[in-house]
Chain A
Amino acid sequence: MTDAPRKLEWRTATISAIATLTPRIRSFMLSAPGGFSFRAGQHVDVRLTAPDGYTAQRSYSIASAPGPGDAIELMIEKMRDGEVSPFFHDVADVGDEIEVRGPIGGYFIWPEGQAQEATGPVVLVAGGSGLAPLISMVRHRALSGPRIPMALLFSVRTPEDVICADELATLQEARDGFELALAVTRGAAWRPGDFSRRIDADMAADVLARLPAAPVRAYVCGSNPFVEAAASALLASGLAADVIRTERYGG
């Protein structure tokens, strides 16, 4: 699970597609010759440079699945008073060149190398744009098999904030061991079996019960308050602390 030491070089990637996912989140496909070798859950650093040499960097999780293509997908939420995300939303266009380096991160990754963690059930808990590294895992499972049991609990404010709703619902309808539960905190439950409240211990227990066995790993990603609440809910429903891995946005 430890990569051999090597220098992470900045590379020039080209924006090959842009899509609107929700009112605040857009998808950017970044293509580079030779593609990107990464594992589901990892992120990249992005660097923007002004004409006078001033630079700004941010980290974004990779939302696409590992594979042979030469592009990665980033899901970028437009932050109020942001510097980099408003550039992506308001200025960046297909064909623009962006510097990236990575992949980065050797801990928040799935599957892991060890046999049990690589094949045992997993639970994913996402808040808003925290879906990005987790949908990479969902897509990786769908593309590569084997059909490891996986449950995704995805919390959003309103139904229009559900990223990739049709894709996720279609994956669940395949009935091959992927379970999807949506929690809408300001609105009605989206489908039967979904929730219309913030995450709590009862909700976590309900979602865990949809797996055939207790998860060997939980991945939680979102804002820090969301991650704190979700991790507490998972602990309260019986998961051990060392099963739970977290990635917190807002830093």
Chain B
Amino acid sequence: MATRGFTGRRPPPGERERLPPGQYLTADFPVLSAGPTPQIAPEKWTFTLKDGPRPVKTWDWAAFNALPRSKLTRDIHCVTKWSKFDTHWEGVLVDDILADAGLVAPTPFVLAHSFDGYSTNVPYSDLSEGKAMVATTFGGQPLHPEHGGPARLLVPHLYFWKSAKWVNGLQFTAVDTAGFWELRGYHIYGDPWREQRFTGD
């Protein structure tokens, strides 16, 4: 259905093919959070890897930052319609977290947890083989609390609510377990290229 009088502002070639359907490009870095921004001091920060209810390993800030570090430059896409190109991140790949814990993925499903009680589910196959990290810097600077600092999950190929801010753990689950937004109408997987915004998309 064409909207009377709407011509739109098309992205130029070069941007167009990098924008998933329904998205627009922004140079800003908008913030979407369900509550106040938690202020987490590094000395209070921990990250725990769990197999079901069982903790496999917990790192403090110093131990976590001593893990092998990697860089990713990726386009990111928020379900609220904005996309941002070429974002620069540094942190620890999920592969390297599991390797340090000596854990081989026990199930295909992961639930990421955050300091503020937030959670989101991501299949392990979307976290492995260099596809995802726990990021501690953005644009070469320590990650700002508004954007999830000290550390956030980065799963850039899925809608950005999957990249949990203030992340404090990854938990393997026996079944795919819906997280905070997935329980509230958002898509269980969230592929921007298939425009999986909401349940049933």
Residues of A within 8 A of B (CB): 1-3, 5-8, 12, 47-51, 54-59, 83, 87, 91-92, 96-99, 104-108, 224, 228, 231-232, 234-235, 241-242, 244-246, 248, 250-251
Contact = CB atoms under 8 A, between A and B. Distances in A.
A232 B146 CA distance: 12
A107 B30 CA distance: 19
20 contacts: A1-B184, A6-B199, A7-B199, A7-B201, A8-B185, A12-B1, A51-B2, A51-B7, A54-B10, A55-B8, A56-B22, A58-B81, A59-B81, A98-B3, A99-B3, A105-B185, A231-B35, A231-B36, A246-B34, A250-B31
B59 interface: no
Nearest to B200: A7
Contacts of B82: 251
Given A2-B183, A55-B22, A105-B185, A242 B1 contact: no
A59 B30 CA distance: 14
Nearest to A4: B199
B13 interface: no
Contact of B37 (A3, A49, A231): A231
Interface in B82-120: 82, 116-117
Contacts of A246: 33-36
Nearest to B5: A91
B133 interface: no
B17 interface: no
A250 B8 CA distance: 19
A79 to B, nearest CB: 11
- Which among B8, B33, B38, B199 has the greatest number of chain A C-beta atoms within 10 A? B8
B185 A232 contact: no
B198 A92 contact: no
A104 B198 contact: yes
Contacts of A55: 8, 21-22
B9 to A, nearest CB: 5
Contact of A48 (B8, B36, B37): B8
Given A7-B199, A224-B146, 8 more contacts: A1-B184, A3-B185, A8-B185, A50-B2, A50-B3, A106-B184, A107-B184, A251-B32
Nearest to B160: A251
A235 B38 CA distance: 11
A105 B185 CA distance: 7
B80 interface: yes
A245 to B, nearest CB: 6
Interface string B23-35: 0100010111111
Contact of A97 (B4, B37, B201): B4
Interface residues of B, number: 37
Contacts of B3: 48-50, 87, 96-99
B4 A251 contact: no
Given A8-B201, A59-B80, A104 B35 contact: no
A98 B35 CA distance: 32
Contacts of B6: 48-50, 56, 87, 91
A250 B30 contact: yes
A215 to B, nearest CB: 14
B7 to A, nearest CB: 5
Nearest to B26: A251
Interface in B178-201: 183-185, 198-201
Given A48-B6, A50-B2, A106 B80 contact: no
Given A6-B200, A96-B3, A228-B37, A242 B117 contact: yes
Contacts of A48: 3, 6, 8
Contacts of B31: 224, 248, 250-251
B160 to A, nearest CB: 10
Nearest to A234: B36
B184 A8 contact: no
A87 B116 CA distance: 38
B153 interface: no
Contacts of B146: 224, 228
Contacts of A49: 1-3, 6
A90 to B, nearest CB: 9
